[in-house]
Structure 1
Amino acid sequence: MKSDELVHDFFSRVVVIINQTKIFGEDISEKKIVEFFLRSLLYKFDHIIVAIEKSKDMSIYTQNELVGTLLTHEE
């Protein structure tokens, strides 16, 4: 994630890459996508990441839920 990038813009950019990867036959689980997003966020989201990891079941947490949570905190 770039320092001046909004969550929505970052999410859109990554979804394009994920879709391209799927076109080439790579099967990427929802869990891996969520983990990638969490690792790629800026340090200013660290406290939100910790809260999400402690309060959510990461095995069933979706990328859409994650982005919704991040957009809420970004505002």
Structure 2
Amino acid sequence: MLTVAGVYAPQHDTRLLMRAIEQEGMAAGTHVLELGTGSGALAVHAALLGGRVTALDISHRAVPGCRWPGLR
């Protein structure tokens, strides 16, 4: 995953949070809100698990910097 300058890049804590999301046993269509999404890695992970995700960030660089094939 690539991020642009000024956007929080995924780090070791990102993987920890991904595992926590998986352990929640998210049902398809579960609403997920991620504040301060940065790279969007957690939001995308939740979406791939079936969540209906809203991801927000104060940085104007965060959203255009997210490039995930196959997701809108």
Q: Does TM-score exceed 0.5, indicating one fold? A: no
In terms of fraction of residues, the more strand-rich structure is 2
Q: Which of structures 1 and 2 has the bigger CA Rg?
A: 1
In terms of fraction of residues, the more helix-rich structure is 1
Give the number of the structure with larger relative contact order, counting CA–CA contacts within 8 Å between residues 6 or more apart. 1
